[in-house]
Structure 1
């Protein structure tokens, strides 16, 4: 009996102590306000008619007493945005309490109506939090764009695409068919989607309006890493036919980059970057690349195999890959039968400069190129700039990968004008190279 009374007594004491530690009162201070983890919640790029990914922010009570938010609601009542406050979905919320020095989460996604014109439309709404007669606000913002949804399909007739496209599966351009991509066209590829070209693709990008092929995710992933630089978001592009021509075309965020498995392709002022494998691989095919950037891959940035034939003029082959150990060279030449001729270019970055079975084959030449490796000129390497840093204006700590050269770079004005091909007169940005042009893809 005594033990029973002792147990009851202890329970009463514990309850009294616990209740004494809890402040049930709400602050009525008119200056008390919640604090937020963001001033503006940016949902990034949103495709009209499609539900965005979920974004979130935190609402903090920095005070010593409970904070009662009497009302949470969108000021304009925008029906496109959808809210979830502290685990409860709805459009408007009343009497939401936050304990002292605690916080709650607000989750937001959206489904926007069609924009009704080419280009992007910024859609903003104000999410108000009313406390003790005062109001605090978080801005919700998104860039909305109309897209044409493309399912997995085979293009069996010539087509012209212009505008924005959301590619949801594997799209094949059949043999004998040409897909034309007008300037400014953007193809957003969903996870594992691909473009397989058995016929031809002609991309007519310009410095002002490049053609872009990229993943369909936006914003940032873990930490501050933008999805713009994250590889593996979609499969990539395979060329197996003849007649493909890419001008001012950007291809990024792929698993396997551009794979040329037959025929031939020409590339002028293109940017191909961020692949889980090679950025561009050529097998038993021919590629001519002028003014192009090939950058950032772990297994060899440029890979040649079989009877591959590659000509590069005023190109930049660079590697600052962050997402896995770099195991391949900037140039991976995997077969004795490959042909590789590179002029007025830069080859620099993580990994060896070149892996090849037969550097003395006679069909591999690098002429007037800047490289990071030590070496000396011979029949393969001619008029080289050895063991030099091109001073790219990259900043990997801030996830900026800009392979233009900075002031004072040894690549400035170092090109051999006699080697510059006529089509290389301007770079990706439209800058004229002139008579004293820089090495690499870009003119400073």
Structure 2
């Protein structure tokens, strides 16, 4: 009874209050709005690629609810910016209310065609303003975007149906249709220069018997689910060079996603991979940075070539959401290579193959959980029914390397034994994270006293990286890797990745050590 009486009284009060409430009364805007910033800088975008969404906060600091007669872009409908005000999209808005001591967000985006402007020299600073009210009460917030021109490589589209093409590949003389969106590069597209960035949509395939050459200083950007394919008989030559400025990396070749905003600078998985098909030949990468891919390099087949299918030198692979390098029964030689931050392994040599790594730093400081260590080696592949096909791991040699990370162990040697195949690996003068003090890891492959597989290595000592989580893997003066390299390997790779001579007192890994500031 008491509860029913309470409900009746409560409902009666609400009805009385609502019948007496007056509609909100808004005062005219006084021109005293405050803003979270006086200029909204939209980070660099490529021509005709939409920007991220940026926000501006507008404050009403007064004790009155106010009405803003108009909020608009100064260039009106001709502006290349778009606004979202109070949940509405457009370029001009009328009668916008802000309650007393309250605020609202304005969201800003842009898409700009640099070809609409002259004398751009590859870049153009595009500006506009958001105008609040008019006359003596007019207030403005500047909008600024740097637009960069680029060479776009994208799948051809049918003018009627807008269907994106899929790649047809020549494999052993047979044309094979794939489900990969993209197309083969044309003859005039087989040399990338530093004159303009390249933006690739879908997979760009290097045709059979052709070579894609990427010159020093070139910048190659990939859209989501895009990459390069080096087909049978084709080659990739990345000819980067040492940069004088290690921040600008002006002479390196950089391959990354097409989002230029700082918030995307280290986000993994923004694009696909550089895929070396079985049968591609004579591939080389020198002074390149490959970052934010799903798989940095995917290399298939040709394990028994006289030299190697792929030689990669003086290069870095960072922030791969899956593997830094995934080799599948292939042949790779690496010198002065740095790999870090991979969602699975930084290097995986699977289904056998032939691998030779000298003065490399293979680390993994992935911030989340991962299934595999920094280095994974196996000699098999499983089919859909979990049946294994086994093949030879002809060689997997790691010389004067650092193999480390934020997990333990950081090597996995996953062999299916078979008398008909070999599983050859050797770690010589390497610094390795492999703590087996609890004897949890068993098997002959982990006998660290077996000199057929382990010679002169250092286990579980701090490499003293400068800042591993941010891909700064140069070692400091406290590193256990200092002066532990074998001279014979240093002679093969006489300078480090920064061109510092290492022949007199070689350190392990891709870098000779430096002295860090005190706070490091």
User: For the superposition of Structure 1 and Structure 2, which TM-score range results when normalised by the shorter chain?
Assistant: 0.7 to 0.9
For the Cα contact (< 8 Å) 1:23–1:65, is it kept in 2?
Answer: no
Q: 1:365 to 1:10 in 2, by over 3 A?
A: closer
Aligned to 2:462: 389
For the Cα contact (< 8 Å) 1:83–1:107, is it kept in 2?
Answer: yes
Rounded Cα–Cα distance in structure 2 between residues aligned with 1:294 and 1:11: 66
Structure 2: runs of 5 or more not aligned: 1-8, 155-181, 244-249, 303-308, 380-390, 437-447, 515-520
Between 1:415-424 and 1:259-268, the stretch displaced more is: 415-424
Is 1:41 the counterpart of 2:40? The answer is yes
Aligned to 2:311: 266
Aligned to 2:107: 107
Q: 1:18 to 1:310 in 2, by over 3 A?
A: farther
Is 1:337 the counterpart of 2:337? The answer is no
Aligned to 1:282: 327
**Any residues of structure 2 matched to 1:296-375 within 5 Å, and which?**
296-323=341-368, 325-335=369-379, 337-338=392-393, 339-351=395-407, 352-357=409-414, 363-374=424-435
Aligned to 2:254: 212
**Any residues of structure 2 matched to 1:43-442 within 5 Å, and which?**
43-69=42-68, 71-74=70-73, 79-93=79-93, 95-114=95-114, 120-129=123-132, 133=136, 138-151=141-154, 152-155=182-185, 157=187, 159-162=190-193, 163-198=196-231, 199-206=234-241, 207=243, 208-219=250-261, 226-240=263-277, 241-263=280-302, 264-323=309-368, 325-335=369-379, 337-338=392-393, 339-351=395-407, 352-357=409-414, 363-374=424-435, 378-379=450-451, 380-394=453-467, 396=469, 400-427=470-497, 429-433=498-502, 435-442=504-511
Q: Give the aligned length.
A: 425
Rounded Cα–Cα distance in structure 1 between residues aligned with 2:11 and 2:460: 81
Rounded Cα–Cα distance in structure 2 between residues aligned with 1:94 and 1:50: 29
Deviation of 1:173 (Å): 1.0
Between 1:110-119 and 1:303-312, the stretch displaced more is: 110-119
For the Cα contact (< 8 Å) 1:68–1:131, is it kept in 2?
Answer: no
Deviation of 1:439 (Å): 2.3
Q: Deviations over 1:178-227 (max 9, x none)?
A: 0011122222111111211021111111223211221223436xxxxx32
Deviation of 1:70 (Å): 5.1
Aligned to 1:3: none
For the Cα contact (< 8 Å) 2:45–2:259, is it kept in 1?
Answer: no
Q: Deviations over 1:377-421 (max 9, x none)?
A: 54122222221122223274xxx3322224422234443343225
Rounded Cα–Cα distance in structure 2 between residues aligned with 1:426 and 1:359: 36
